[in-house]
A and B are shown apart, each in its own frame.
Chain A
Amino acid sequence: MPCLLYDGKGLVKTIRFKNPSYVGDPINAIKIFNEKEVDELILIDINASKEKRKINISKIADFAGECFMPFAYGGGVKTVSEFYELYKNGVEKVIVNSLIFENPGVIKEAVAKYGSQAVVACVDFKKNLFGKKQVYSFTGHSVKYSPTDFVKYLEQDLGVGELFLQNIDAEGTWDGFDYEFVKQMVDYTSLPLIASGGAGSTDHLKKVLYESGANAAALGSMAVYSKKAMGVLINFPKRDDVIKE
């Protein structure tokens, strides 16, 4: 599934969460993904929480209005009423990240009201200075829990229905997923898991889906560029190219 990054104005693509470059208009991209028959679309406003910007429901409703597949939105969602507004306007799943740290009670309430299937937790991880994998918050600080304890907390205490596991070190690199870490997390949790960060080829996708056992793989650069370091081209691998032989 494609994962589009939005900066409040247009679509951007980052490398390791940095250096955003403009890649186009969301509505146009969503229309193309309808044609490409993607399973689901993820759109993340990467600046909303950092800029303490309120989410623009009518804008997101416009995106949802063009999205004829399940639509997951993340970025800057802070209140239960915002969850409600998003669902009402055609968003199937809300992705939370900063809210996990700021106000987890809101997540619990949203899960109780709208069901766990409608709430996805985004888990950002990277290697620390000692080469150990750690979860990082949106402010760039490492989380005191181990990745497994953090996932356990999301699953059991907050009750989210799905995990979006994002490898900061690989994001935008086209170098492949962290297959081993994804597998560890898949083995650890019973939640469906979307692997993100590093997709660069259909082989990468097959490996993370069939060897690591991820339920889905998110494509960032691969969905918006024609090739690494090349021009913008809204793009998606054919279904048959990633289906298990």
Chain B
Amino acid sequence: MLLIIDYGLGNLVSVKNMFKKLGIEAVISDKINKIENASKLILPGVGSFDNGMNLIREKGLLEILNKKVLIEKTPILGICLGMQLLTKSSEEGKEKGLGWIDADTVKFNFNDKALKIPHMGWNYVQVKKENKLINSNGKHRFYFVHSYYVKCHNPSDIIATCNYGNDFTCILNHENIYGAQFHPEKSLKFGMEVLSNFSKL
């Protein structure tokens, strides 16, 4: 069963709605026993990095998530802030991230005054590496809303990039761990494809 982790942040309902449209059953939960039994996990998230990490800890989810992801190798997809939480740290806050990916989260920093922060809107992405989450042929565009992005230290984790002031990683993958900086749940058929592919892993 696919489980959307409810740690108090993020647009869980929209993610669930898209799975429903795809005919895939997904549950929203913060219960440890349900997470224990999940075959796939989604870590959504909107908001600040520290708040996200603190909520995961306060809800007592850190241990079970570490076990599911690092030991049982359950596939997990972090969306937006959820992708950033997979990294070791963020310039947005002081808290340590989940640290499952050799990466850090950094703030957009460019001189182009015409580009506004947050980066908000639709962008085409470039698929850099063959992967199960996204077809490397064809044009894909996704909806983004973020002020920070993930900087991968291991180039082989980078699946797709997007350009906003500079190139940044918008899809990452390391073993069973996946991250998407955009919102697949609000990216029409392009996002549906990503969620559908994830469900088939």
Residues in A lying within 8 Å of B, measured CB to CB: 34, 37, 39, 61, 64-66, 68-71, 87-90, 92, 115, 117, 190, 192
Tell me the smallest distance from the CB of B129 to a CB of chain A, in Å.
26
Cβ of B186 < 8 Å from any Cβ of A? Answer: yes
Is B118 in contact with A92, judged by CB distance below 8 angstroms?
Answer: no
**Residues of A contacting B122 with CB < 8 Å?**
39
B131 located at the interface, meaning its Cβ lies under 8 Å from any Cβ of chain A in the complex: no
Cβ-based interface call for B188 (8 A): yes
Chain B nearest Cβ from A179, distance in angstroms: 20
Please name all residues of chain B whose beta carbon is closer than 8 Å to the beta carbon of A37 when the two chains form the complex.
188-189
Is B156's CB within 8 Å of the partner chain A? no
Q: Nearest chain-B residue to A36 (Cβ)?
A: B188
Cβ distance A58 to chain B, nearest Cβ, rounded Å = 12
Q: Are B13 and A90 within 8 A (Cβ)?
A: yes
Q: Are A192 and B120 in contact (CB under 8 A)?
A: yes
In chain A, what residue has the closest Cβ to B184?
Answer: A68
State whether A64 touches B188 (Cβ < 8 A): no
A34 to B116, CA, bound (A): 27
* Interface Cβ pair total, 8 Å cutoff: 49
* A155 → B minimal CB distance (Å): 12
Known A-B contacts A39-B122, A117-B145; A69 and B13 likewise in contact (beta carbons under 8 Å): no
* Chain B residues in the interface with A (C-beta under 8 A): 11, 13-14, 17-18, 20-21, 116, 118, 120-122, 143, 145, 183, 185-189, 191-192
Instruction: Specify which of A66, A69, A87, A88 is in contact with B186 (CB 8 Å cutoff).
Output: A69
Give the residues in chain B near A115, CB-CB below 8 Å: 118
Q: A87-B11, A90-B13 are in contact. Are A70 and B189 (CB under 8 A)?
A: no
Check B188–A34 contact: CB distance below 8 A.
yes
| Residues in B whose Cβ lies below 8 Å from that of A69 | 143, 186-188
CB within 8 Å for A68 and B120 given contacts A88-B13, A90-B13: no
- Least CB distance, B58 to chain A, in whole angstroms: 19
* Distance of A231 from chain B, by nearest CB (Å): 27
Complex: A87 Cα to B186 Cα, angstroms: 13
